[in-house]
């Protein structure tokens, strides 16, 4: 990024890993979104490929039930401020800079936040901005508030829980679009986020094509077995699950234009 580039100046340029996400074929995103059992089939495919990245809804719960989201991750890392709330209020300066992530977001992106236990990393204003930007959703490994704004904006959000405690005086944003950790799972900018009522899967971008191919094979195999069940085939004669073969490694990805 040159000079201030596309940023808002809320944090130093050195805190940005990148301003443009790596490119991902939209056909892969749409293919993943078409899976009937979104996170279940993706998680099974990732198991077969030796990948970790699934998170249960017991860890990160959907604020809106019934939401299904697939999109590239814009990452944010928040940490606890070193000063007290009283000192922060007296100084009158918020150190939250998640607005930088929303400023970079393109329609369909998912903002993913490594946060702090018991403190909100998402409020009503940021929710409204995210919805206006066309973001597919927000994932917070931490807490959120202003759930009325989330509901009013119909913005899919996953979080550990809710709290009235604002992050404005308690948290500091230390990086945008760098590798973060969500519930112990590594998430890099541009990785594909898939989320529904069952949970979430974070798919390494380089493996997204492989995950889709294996998940589609799982979908076809399950459809074949379900047809036999609904056709009344006796249990002893039901087809066994097919062995799913790993496809060839995908080609290298390119940088998405800012």
Question: CB under 8 Å to 115, separation ≥6 — which residues?
Answer: 78, 121, 140, 141, 142, 143, 167, 171
138 is in an annotated binding site: no
Non-local CB neighbours of 219 within 8 Å, separated by 6+ positions:
35, 36, 37, 41
Place of tokens 């204003």: 125
Residue 4 contacts by C-beta under 8 Å, 6 or more apart in sequence?
Answer: 13
**Helix-helix angle 208-230:26-33, to 10 degrees:** 30
- Cβ-contact 145, 121 below 8 angstroms: no
**Residue 230 falls in which region: left (phi positive, over 0), alpha (psi -120 to 50) or beta:** alpha
CA distances from residue 174 to 22, 190, 225 in whole angstroms, order as listed: 21, 19, 49
Tokens of 11: 């944090």
- Please name the residue that has the structure tokens 């990086």: 175
The answer on whether 221 is annotated among ligand-binding residues is: no
Is 126 known to sit in a ligand binding site? Answer: yes
109 labeled binding residue = no
124 is in an annotated binding site: yes
Known binding-site positions for substrate: 123-126, 145
Going by the annotation, the residues of the binding site for Mg(2+) are 146
């Amino acid at each position: 990024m040159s000079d201030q580039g596309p940023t808002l100046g809320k944090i130093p340029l050195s805190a940005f890993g990148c301003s443009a996400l790596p490119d991902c074929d939209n056909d892969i995103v749409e293919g993943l979104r078409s899976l009937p059992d979104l996170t279940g089939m993706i998680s099974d495919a990732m198991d077969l490929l030796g990948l970790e990245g699934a998170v249960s809804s017991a860890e990160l719960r959907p604020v809106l039930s019934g939401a299904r989201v697939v999109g590239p991750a814009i990452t944010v890392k928040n940490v606890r401020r070193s000063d007290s709330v009283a000192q922060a209020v007296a100084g009158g300066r918020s150190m939250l800079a998640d607005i930088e992530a929303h400023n970079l977001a393109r329609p369909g992106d998912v903002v993913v936040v490594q946060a702090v236990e018991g403190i909100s990393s998402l409020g009503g204003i940021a929710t409204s901005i995210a919805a206006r930007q066309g973001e597919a959703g927000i994932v917070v490994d931490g807490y959120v508030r202003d759930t009325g704004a989330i509901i009013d904006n119909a913005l899919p959000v996953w979080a550990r829980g809710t709290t009235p405690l604002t992050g404005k005086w308690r948290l500091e944003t230390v990086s945008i679009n760098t590798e973060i950790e969500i519930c112990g799972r590594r998430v890099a900018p541009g990785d594909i986020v898939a989320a529904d009522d069952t949970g979430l899967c974070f798919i390494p971008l380089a493996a997204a094509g492989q995950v889709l191919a294996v998940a589609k094979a799982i979908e076809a195999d399950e459809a074949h077995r379900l047809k036999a069940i609904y056709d009344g085939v006796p249990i002893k004669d039901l087809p066994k699950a097919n062995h799913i073969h790993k496809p060839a490694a995908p080609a290298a990805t390119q940088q998405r234009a800012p």
